[in-house]
Structure 1
Amino acid sequence: MSPHDSPSLRVSSESFHDGQTLPPAQRSGKMRAGGKDESPQLSWSGAPEGTKGYAVTMFDPDAPGRGGFWHWAVLDVPAGVTSLPAGAGAEGGRLLPAGALQLKNDGGFHGYLGAAAPPGHGPHRYVVTVYALDVEHLGLDAGFSPAKLEPKLAPHMLGRGTITGIFER
């Protein structure tokens, strides 16, 4: 089954609605976009039978340069977890479920980096994806690059869902 044939998860957020502008909390302070670098609250449902774990990513496909920009990647979220609180992506991950692992974002640290479209670059899409996986652990460590994650997720993907926030300055 190709990833495009995977059953859809329903993904929602108390922090923003699909297709709407990201609020200041989900924008970057570190990259001077007037924000707090707080990962959004997320909830998901509709995981296919056999789901043993989840991965969550946030990616900006509109970022300048090759390959977009990875803002967040969380692996090994236990199957019994169907939501993450706002701020779960803080460095150190103390609000993440036990066993979950954050990869280093393209800003260079393990955690969530808020939206920070370059001034005058137009609207950017920040795509949050939740992947339902057939394994509890992907066997990757915190040093693994999110840019190389898709081929590691694809053979284990049972379903996925997205929610997209927009930001420009």
Structure 2
Amino acid sequence: MTAYIEYGLSRLFASAKGRDARLFTKGPGFSKLPKPTIELASDTASGSQLHVDQSAEGAGQFPSLSWPAASPDTKEFLIVSEDPDAPLPSPIIHGIYYGIPATTTAVTNADFEAAGEYALKGGFRYGKNRRGNIYVPPRPLLGHGEHRYFFTLVALSAPIDWRKLSDLPTIQEIAQAIEGNVVGWGEWVGVFERKWD
């Protein structure tokens, strides 16, 4: 019965997609860098289908991401994961990860395991997503079509002072904290769909 209700909602909001203008990288912190400048890669090409294990239908694993060594002006990295195709006014935030050391050139699912209060095994911290947990794996509405999941890496010229943020900082807090400090960014997109069989 729940599946029928979910499918009915997805049909009702079939055209409510593509909130790209509200993606994190469209904010004021990126006004001087409107296009990606860092090559962000994963096991598959950007725009590829996510494996079921990278969704809520499977193990819910965070995709592996890699990028070149940081430029000298990079002091820290930030990663944001979001879905602009949900039938909501703004993209759904699936994960916020900040305080990533400038020496880091890759992350794997194991880096996103808890290692203390709001801290992760990868040596960084996480912010507030839709569920208030570490990561919300993709689970688009049944029958709503393909959803794109944007994974954005941001290079910062100054570390984010987490002591000045909430314990679980929101995307708005992070956007404000990085304004004037963005020196580069990269983007990788995974696609996932839950079909009505």
Per the TM superposition, whether the score is higher than 0.5 is yes
2:97 matches 1:102: no
Q: Using a 3 Å threshold, how does the CA distance of structure 1 residues 3 and 36 change in structure 2: closer, same or farther? A: farther
Q: What is the aligned length? A: 160
Q: What SS does structure 2 have at the residue aligned with 1:159?
A: strand
> Per the alignment, do residues 37 and 142 of structure 1 end up closer, same or farther by CA in structure 2, a change over 3 Å counting?
farther
Q: TM-score, normalised by structure 1?
A: 0.84
Q: Give, in angstroms, the shift of residue 151 of structure 1.
A: 3.4
Higher strand share: 1
Q: Cα offset for 1:94? A: 4.3
Q: Which amino acid aligns with 1:19?
A: G
Residues 7 and 65 from structure 1, CA distance in 2 versus in 1: closer, same or farther, beyond 3 angstroms?
A: closer
**Pair 1:8-2:8 in alignment:** no
State whether residues 102 and 142 of structure 1, in contact with CA within 8 Å, keep that contact through their aligned partners in structure 2: no
Q: Which one-letter code corresponds to 1:60 in the other structure?
A: D
Deviations 1:28-56 (A, max 9, x none): 1xxxxx12121111111164331000001
Which of these residues, 135, 148, 151, is aligned with residue 176 of structure 2? 151
Alignment of 1:28-67 (within 5 A): 28=56, 34-45=57-68, 47-67=70-90
Q: Partner amino acid for 1:96? A: G
Decide whether aligned partners of structure 1 residues 3 and 21 sit closer, same or farther in structure 2, where only a CA change above 3 A counts.
farther
CA contact (8 A) 1:55 1:130 kept: yes
Aligned residue in 1 for 2:191: 166
Q: Residues 91 and 113 from structure 1, CA distance in 2 versus in 1: closer, same or farther, beyond 3 angstroms?
A: farther
Higher helix share goes to which structure?
2
User: What are the ranges of 5 or more consecutive residues in structure 1 without an aligned counterpart?
Assistant: 29-33
Task: For residue 95 of structure 1, give the secondary structure of its aligned residue in structure 2.
Answer: coil
Q: Distance in 1 between matches of 2:78 and 2:175?
A: 11
Greater gyration radius: 2
Instruction: Write the letter of the residue equivalent to 1:87.
Output: A
What is the Cα-based RMSD across aligned positions, in Å?
2.1
Gapped runs of 5+ residues in structure 2? 1-29
Contact 1:43 1:84 in 2 (8 A): yes
* Contact 1:85–1:95 under 8 Å retained in 2: no
Residue 25 of structure 1 aligns with an amino acid whose one-letter code is D
